[in-house]
Structure 1
């Protein structure tokens, strides 16, 4: 940018147009004129008030000693403001930059959080679409790579146009009030009720990462989140011990699953058994292949976990399917995990392969068309099985409310049985510190042991 401090201002010129012979010319516009160096510059406005305001801004800036850009004729601060990106434009750029490096579930979480944030960082411009349409336009169009975007409906196109025009500049986040407004919005659900602490922290983490990226690109001087404090109860991630089933209840549930549907429940039972007896995550069980299983006729077997099939919306996956094959959670892409499994699960898996066979790619659990079971189908089967296995009071309780609770029950069982924490963590694919924090309240019987030790010490 070539700049100059040599600036001269002229009077505002009034522009008129003749409306006909004998009639007084009509004022149509007003032009602000000035020179930067030896170059003449001008800008025309519809009303005199706007022209006077603009000229006043130029004069005040020159009085402060700010240099003017020779090309545009504007002060350097105005050029910067004019060229500054909006939050919306920067968020789109961020999505494009990070999409290739993120897993499908992370992409979904990223776009979900950015949709919340972008709706807040907008000016009060006429024609604002309703919240649901803004969210739809952002998640299903704007925050997708260009080669994945569907043809926008007229409603979506209109909403996108409004967002582009109304979005605040990224630099507005230097003001704490805008950053706080975002945090307060993230702390609420769509219905206005308080969001879960874990949800708030997840979305705040996305916001923090976007702002760090802006600082890295020197579009913000510092991360404005560091200036705003919004108290939110820290999420411990502890498991509700009321959701943990005992071995008898777990077996009753697995039996009840086989009663659901003509064959769906029977084909899923072994998958649920892997979550309970092996402590597998649902995505790990879904990806389990025959070659991953060592199933001797007697005694313990083991599973070698290598892949996981988490489910998300197909627009976020590389394959275009709702299940995207990934490496194990929190591990390198080619890392594996060895999980010993008790004879009871070995027998269940051997029987499953004998009765139901395997998919073409070797997976144990699949629909009649060979695809992984949809999460909605799994949840439906599980809800029905709970009504068969539990009393009405238990059905209304958190007890095994989700299939994932079988994994929680498995790890809790191992810890209660006295399995050393590092071994239990290795089987579950957890860090030891995370496992002990999450399952601390599900370890039964420790209080009585501690009480007795204290009494023994006092007696001594």
Structure 2
């Protein structure tokens, strides 16, 4: 840390809460934050100096590190480099730079291996046991059991499950049902949204706002959703799932439940590995099950809500039939 710099936690709050926030609803910063913003302004490098290769290379080196000084993950470095490039393009648009200085630097982000590590994706039996275990870890677990089941049996992203509404569900008394996915509710934080809510209501990921996708769901999920509706009804806007105090389910809420679910469903040895370490692993498990069950990759990609190219990039062995899911 530079001499005279505010504490790291204060600098981070000043940057994320004020310097990079243009919502127009910001409160007046405290004296501590105002001092940090003033320090940042004094110490910031003028845009013109970014044309110096040593300055730009120092910036690239910085984005390869975590806050603790340790090397960042390859995907993190690539994402930060992309953000830096977007900032420089904006500077060109605003006539602050004549050209993008990155093009003159002989530096490339590290290569990444996007393929899923199947050792840590739950197999069908484990996925079912994890979902069943949610019913045993308290009231929140019982409420979120069907939430986790949607990720596995319908291949949904968490933000899509958060936005699932009763009107989107066709749930017959027997047989297969259908979910019509129309949006997502990712958490952005109230200071970043236009209306002050902690979640934004968006379209499906990388799709036009009114785009929908239908996903057939097996009888087991139909039954879970019918039972959930009979027990809990619906929340605001007809949402199937809601936070413990109302509103949209919080990421920290279902993450805490998932931690208890892993402890209940996995052996001590398994729990000590990255096996099903996050709920998103259920989506990976569901997509892989479709593939090894013989569902056409084009249909799998459509159900999952991404392109066939992305499907092959993340699941090459599974999608080509050269690997099967483990059963133990």
Q: Same fold (TM over 0.5)?
A: yes
TM-score normalised by length of structure 2: 0.93
Residue in 2 aligned with 1:337? 213
| CA distance in 1: counterparts of 2:106 and 2:140, whole angstroms | 50
Matched, 1:193 2:70: yes
| CA distance in 2: counterparts of 1:447 and 1:375, whole angstroms | 32
Residue in 2 aligned with 1:220? 97
Post-superposition shift, 1:165?
A: 2.3
- Contact in 2 for aligned 1:425/1:431 (Cα 8 Å): yes
- Tell me the C-alpha RMSD between the 2 structures: 1.9
Post-superposition shift, 1:131?
A: 3.5
Residue in 1 aligned with 2:46? 169
Residue in 1 aligned with 2:6? 129
Residue in 1 aligned with 2:287? 411
Residue in 1 aligned with 2:243? 367
1:267-306 to 2 correspondences below 5 Å: 267-306=143-182
- Contact in 2 for aligned 1:311/1:322 (Cα 8 Å): yes
Post-superposition shift, 1:146?
A: 6.7
**In the superposition, relative to structure 1, how do residues 282 and 146 fare at CA in structure 2: closer, same or farther (>3 Å)?**
closer
| CA distance in 1: counterparts of 2:285 and 2:194, whole angstroms | 33
| CA distance in 1: counterparts of 2:241 and 2:135, whole angstroms | 14
Post-superposition shift, 1:147?
A: 2.4
CA deviation map 1:392-431 (0-9, x unaligned): 0110111111111100000111111121111000000010
The count of aligned residue pairs is 324
| CA distance in 2: counterparts of 1:346 and 1:273, whole angstroms | 10
Post-superposition shift, 1:378?
A: 0.6
Residue in 1 aligned with 2:60? 183
TM-score normalised by length of structure 1: 0.67
CA deviation map 1:113-162 (0-9, x unaligned): xxxxxx9xxxx8x7333443322222122222272222212221112122
Residue in 1 aligned with 2:127? 250
**In the superposition, relative to structure 1, how do residues 211 and 324 fare at CA in structure 2: closer, same or farther (>3 Å)?**
same
Structure with larger RCO (C-alpha < 8 A, sep 6+): 2
- Unaligned segments of structure 1, at least 5 residues: 1-118, 449-460
**In the superposition, relative to structure 1, how do residues 143 and 447 fare at CA in structure 2: closer, same or farther (>3 Å)?**
closer
User: What SS does structure 2 have at the residue aligned with 1:302?
Assistant: strand
- Unaligned segments of structure 2, at least 5 residues: none
Residue in 2 aligned with 1:426? 302
Higher radius of gyration, 1 or 2: 1
- Contact in 2 for aligned 1:239/1:441 (Cα 8 Å): no
| CA distance in 2: counterparts of 1:209 and 1:256, whole angstroms | 44
| CA distance in 1: counterparts of 2:232 and 2:28, whole angstroms | 42
Which structure shows the higher strand fraction?
Answer: 1
| CA distance in 1: counterparts of 2:259 and 2:35, whole angstroms | 41
- Contact in 2 for aligned 1:179/1:225 (Cα 8 Å): yes
